[in-house]
Amino acid sequence: MKTINNFEEAAANELLVNENHSEINTTDNLASSACLIRLSGVHKRYQLGKTTVNALNGVSFSINRGEFTAIAGPSGSGKTTILNLIGCIDDPTSGTVLVKGKNHQFMKDREASIFRNQTLGYIFQNFNLIPVLSVYENIEYPLRIGKIKIDRHTKEKIYSLIEDVGLSSYTKQRPDKLSGGQRQRVAVARALVCDPDIVMADEPTANLDHNTGLEILNLMQKLNRRLGTTFVISTHSEMIIEKSRRVIRVLDGKIESDTGEDYEYQNKTDYDTVDSERATCSA
């Protein structure tokens, strides 16, 4: 599999890949199972010329469906690397990453691309909206790329998401007329439009002031509760860390602490076994 090192580049790439297929099926995400993400003994090494960077050094944790988890740690500690692995964008050097019980390393590129599109939504620090599209069109865009039929039902869903994120008066507005917080609200709605199991957010409030960051956090938590979507957020923000139900702290590529799986979501009917036996990435 082609290694893509940048989270945003990966999502852009994903949009291009998905222009060429039509098998996106949003109803698949309704499958109910608690354990969504499982990292076991994960190491990630990068080779920079003659220098080896040990970005992750034996990381293990599970995240259940419906959890709201912050991945915290200083710059360079491995947060984005963890998100890239969960996002099936990059492969571990050793160890196993299972998402919905599946190891994307066993998938063909096209299968992995469809799996990502059905399973994951992304929110970025820099919002990554398309400047020439309106609020409505930006949110609709992943559906168009996924060749999902835009019918009355999907339109209602988009308008309902726009209402959820508090932008009903801005439907036709282009991003350059919106504030940073409003842009991030559009990005939150866009991340949810394909009904993903997991929304991954890499430093989603880093470009926002405290109060606007808090609004976006509240919005993500409201949607997490209402839709049951699992959120995994990489952050430096103490405000997000304080308010997240679960916090995994990373230091030098290792788990420093983990407040633990949210008790509300521990009734495992478990995806864990699907690819476990085949998951034999050697160290």
C-alpha span between 174 and 134 (Å, rounded): 4
Residue 5 lies near ligand ATP (rule: CB under 6 A): yes
Nearest approach, Cβ of 257 to ligand ATP (angstroms)?
A: 15
Which residue stretch of 45-53, 57-65, 190-198, 225-233 sits at the interface with ligand ATP (rule: CB under 6 A)? 45-53
Nearest approach, Cβ of 75 to ligand ATP (angstroms)?
A: 3
Q: Applying CB under 5 A, which of residues 64, 80, 134, 237 lies at the interface with Mg ion?
A: 80
Residue 84 lies near Mg ion (rule: CB under 5 A): no
C-alpha span between 112 and 173 (Å, rounded): 34
Nearest approach, Cβ of 215 to ligand ATP (angstroms)?
A: 22
C-alpha span between 281 and 125 (Å, rounded): 32
Nearest approach, Cβ of 75 to Mg ion (angstroms)?
A: 7
Beta-strand pair 68-72/246-251? parallel
Q: Applying CB under 6 A, which of residues 55, 135, 220, 247 lies at the interface with ligand ATP?
A: 55
Judged by DSSP in three states, 66 sits in: coil
Name the residue whose CB lies closest to Mg ion: 80
Taking the least distance from each CB to Mg ion, the nearer of 34 and 201 is 201
* Count, residues near ligand ATP per rule CB under 6 A: 13
Which residue stretch of 69-77, 164-172, 181-189, 257-265 sits at the interface with ligand ATP (rule: CB under 6 A)? 69-77
CB-based contact 167:158 (threshold 8 Å): no
Taking the least distance from each CB to ligand ATP, the nearer of 35 and 71 is 71
Q: How many CA atoms lie within 13 A of 147 on its CB side?
A: 10
Taking the least distance from each CB to Mg ion, the nearer of 9 and 109 is 9
Footprint (CB under 5 A) of Mg ion, residues 60-79: 79
Q: Applying CB under 6 A, which of residues 2, 27, 48, 149 lies at the interface with ligand ATP?
A: 48
Nearest approach, Cβ of 77 to ligand ATP (angstroms)?
A: 4
Q: How many helices (H) and strands (E) does the chain have?
A: 8, 9
- Three-state SS string over 216-279 comes to HHHHHHHHHHHHCCEEEEEECCHHHHHHCCEEEEEECCEEEEECCCCHHHCCCCCCCCCCHHHC
Which residue has 């034999």 as its token pair? 280
Give Cβ neighbours of residue 144 (< 8 Å, ≥ 6 apart): 150
CB-based contact 189:129 (threshold 8 Å): no
Footprint (CB under 6 A) of ligand ATP, residues 70-89: 73, 75-81
**53 secondary structure, DSSP code:** E
Q: Which residues bind ligand ATP (CB under 6 A)?
A: 5, 46, 48, 53, 55, 73, 75-81
Q: Which residues bind Mg ion (CB under 5 A)?
A: 79-80
